[in-house]
Structure 1
Amino acid sequence: MSKDLSYTIEEVSQLLKVSKLTLYDLVKKGELPAFRVGRQMRIDAVDLDHYINNQKTIHRNNFQAPVVDLNRNESRESNHIIISGQDIVLDILSKYIENKSTYKPLRSYTGSLNSLISMYNGECDIVSLHLFDGDTGEYNTPYIKKILAGRTYILLNLLSRKAGFYVKKGNPLNIASWTDLNQKHIKLVNREKGSGARILLDEQLRLYQISPRDINGYEHEESNHLSVASVISSGAADVGVGIEKAAKIVGIDFIPIITERYDLVILKNSETEQLITTLKNILSSRQFQSEINALGDYDTSQTGKIIYETN
């Protein structure tokens, strides 16, 4: 979320559907950071995001992989692997890898394209991708063929999910297609450069020959799906691009536009051979797929399928 976006206790109470007393208790215990402006207590949007994500991880997985910052070149042990991407399913995958192998997962919450570039630079082990290519209508393979040229790798399906528009309850502006964004009275909140949602938007604007300069709010960037949905909920923007689950969490409407394939890419070499085997076994297991299906809004019909592989 933007650094200047914060909520009052009352706003967070309405957003999470809990009492203000519950929130004051979380703040008192140090579980939810807050700060004061005069007599008013406020909560940073990014801190609220972290709290929600931590609670989803704790209650669904009873496991939380340590977070690593790809920009800091942090040192790691030989059995540490970095899994990059933002979907909660990756946290569940980290739990399975931790339980079924000697690997110790670290999590990076970096967008698809930036994560893929980090893999090219040797900084990631498993990268999740949802990168739409407007010329072919394909997801992911056109990008990895170019960025990982000269490398050997395997692309496995993790799941499929709906992507579309976040809009206010009742969709008062009747937003239904990409061309609707090209109206001055409609204000967009965008994702950060390098994210899959940003690339989906930019590719559609290119295909429909719409200049980003003509999109009101195009320069307003947020760093994850939940942040975009929260901006819509607050009334600061009218539309954003993201996945269905964040809209349900925040309580806004979602207009499905496309089914995106969410894949995992791993480099193939002698050091990753066991990791690839472990990953294949987890993705194809009934237990893992059942846990993903229990979350709702995900399609696991192709989970574990090899989408593309180099020799």
Structure 2
Amino acid sequence: MSSEEYILYKRIADQIRIEILEGHLQPGDRLPSIRELTRQWNCTPGTVQKAYQELSHQGLVISRAGKGTHVASNIDPALMQSQGPLRRATLVHRAEEFLLEVLTAGYELPEIQQSLDLAMDRWRALAQVPSTPSGQTLHFYGSHDMAVTWLANHVHEIAGNTVIQLNFTGSLGGLMALADGRADLAGCHLWDPETDTYNIPYIRKFFPGKHMLAVRLAERRIGLILPPGNPKDIRSLADLTRPGVRFVNRQAGSGTRVWLDAMLTQQNIHADRIDGYENEKPTHSEVARAIAEGAADVGLGLESAALAFKLESHFLVVESYDLVTFAERAQREPLHSLLGWLTGEKAREGMGSLKGYSFEHTGEKIEV
């Protein structure tokens, strides 16, 4: 599936999902036919089918041959309320992101545990004190990145009483959330093969006629993540097709996946020859974990993730990671303070402990 088809099917599924969860569509309501949505969205029938399949897997719709697609009559109440397992999974995910950051910075597990225990004791004490008015929340959607996690953990030092809510949805998902009004800030690293540049062509495609701002966060080293010693001698994308090589992939829509698919096309490597191409993970840390646990032999991801799990990384490319927002919104607090901080030396000093990154161009701005 091309990036354009991915964008469309996600938008179709998101729009229907919101209408169902907000009660605009009721159980039993018939949804538009594939032919109708194909005309409405100017896309292929396969794109609409993919959207309906996703909603069906989530238990939101039911499709029957000859009877069309209807809103499910027994939607899980926990899904309607966005509570329960989803909330717990989000918390565990945030905890793992913090662990990956401090492990990458060189800390050991015992001292991390000791520091967490101390921090928990302090927060328990603070919980007995009357709370002060809450600050502002910045909603971030986009590609998984350790520098972004670092910003979220230190934003109170940069922009006062501010919290960054992280939603790692992939680069395309971040731009979609910004366009739909869910995000204040999107993070992306999308390579465009036609111009051999990052991000700007995609921003123009998503926001035609809009005044946008892209701010460089970092350059990141991406490579093949491998077990120590590289026992299967994997050194190129072509090696992914060898018998006995198990691959673990990033999810469709992530910048890493966009780059991989473009490279496979350029090198005439067929994805169906790669064992594990459909085995998708939402973050670089989960790719690295799969290899560390022996569930896969190779993945594509951040050098910093490989180092955190004591794995090897065979370098392939340096990519540009940008923070994207509306130019007018960037002038308002707390975004103005956060993006302004990135232009200073304190940004390079603060994030400099992250391995596998370059912050030489951090804070540079491009208006689109």
Q: TM-score, normalised by structure 1?
A: 0.73
Which structure has the greater CA radius of gyration? Answer: 2
Question: Relative to 1, partners in 2 of residues 1:251 and 1:96: Cα closer, same or farther, differing over 3 Å?
Answer: closer
1:98 aligned onto 2:142: no
Contact 2:189 / 2:321 at 8 angstroms: preserved in 1?
yes
User: Following the alignment from structure 1 to structure 2, what is the Cα–Cα distance between the partners of residues 134 and 287?
Assistant: 34
1:124 aligned onto 2:183: yes
Structure 2 unaligned spans of 5+: 1-88, 103-111, 120-133
User: Following the alignment from structure 1 to structure 2, what is the Cα–Cα distance between the partners of residues 86 and 94?
Assistant: 12
The one-letter code sitting in structure 2 at the alignment partner of 1:231 is: A
Question: Relative to 1, partners in 2 of residues 1:88 and 1:120: Cα closer, same or farther, differing over 3 Å?
Answer: same
1:284 aligned onto 2:360: no
**Residue in structure 2 matched with residue 52 of structure 1 by the alignment:** 96
SS at match of 2:361: coil
SS at match of 1:157: strand
**Residue in structure 2 matched with residue 87 of structure 1 by the alignment:** 145
Contact 2:219 / 2:321 at 8 angstroms: preserved in 1?
yes
SS at match of 1:295: coil
Question: Relative to 1, partners in 2 of residues 1:184 and 1:156: Cα closer, same or farther, differing over 3 Å?
Answer: same
Q: Which residue of 165, 170, 174 maps to 2:233?
A: 174
Structure 1 unaligned spans of 5+: 1-44, 64-76
Contact 1:86 / 1:224 at 8 angstroms: preserved in 2?
yes
**Residue in structure 1 matched with residue 354 of structure 2 by the alignment:** 295
User: Following the alignment from structure 1 to structure 2, what is the Cα–Cα distance between the partners of residues 103 and 52?
Assistant: 21
**Residue in structure 2 matched with residue 25 of structure 1 by the alignment:** none
Question: Relative to 1, partners in 2 of residues 1:303 and 1:210: Cα closer, same or farther, differing over 3 Å?
Answer: same
**Residue in structure 2 matched with residue 14 of structure 1 by the alignment:** none
Which has the higher mean CA deviation after the structures are superposed, 82-91 or 207-216? 82-91
1:233 aligned onto 2:292: yes
SS at match of 1:117: helix
**Residue in structure 2 matched with residue 199 of structure 1 by the alignment:** 258
Q: Deviations over 1:106-153 (max 9, x none)?
A: 221221111111111111111111112223221111211111222211
Q: Deviations over 1:35-79 (max 9, x none)?
A: xxxxxxxxxx9987654323467869999xxxxxxxxxxxxx994
Number of equivalenced pairs: 252
SS at match of 1:206: helix
User: Following the alignment from structure 2 to structure 1, what is the Cα–Cα distance between the partners of residues 164 and 286?
Assistant: 25
Report the Cα offset of residue 101 of structure 1: 4.4
Q: TM-score, normalised by structure 2?
A: 0.62
Contact 2:97 / 2:149 at 8 angstroms: preserved in 1?
no
The one-letter code sitting in structure 1 at the alignment partner of 2:98 is: N
User: Following the alignment from structure 1 to structure 2, what is the Cα–Cα distance between the partners of residues 175 and 277?
Assistant: 45
Which has the higher mean CA deviation after the structures are superposed, 225-234 or 253-262? 225-234
SS at match of 1:278: helix
Instruction: Kindly indicate which of the two structures has a greater share of residues assigned to helix.
Output: 2
Contact 2:144 / 2:168 at 8 angstroms: preserved in 1?
yes
User: Following the alignment from structure 2 to structure 1, what is the Cα–Cα distance between the partners of residues 196 and 173?
Assistant: 21
Contact 2:330 / 2:339 at 8 angstroms: preserved in 1?
no
The one-letter code sitting in structure 1 at the alignment partner of 2:307 is: K
The one-letter code sitting in structure 1 at the alignment partner of 2:191 is: F
Q: Which residue of 214, 217, 223 maps to 1:158?
A: 217
**Residue in structure 2 matched with residue 187 of structure 1 by the alignment:** 246
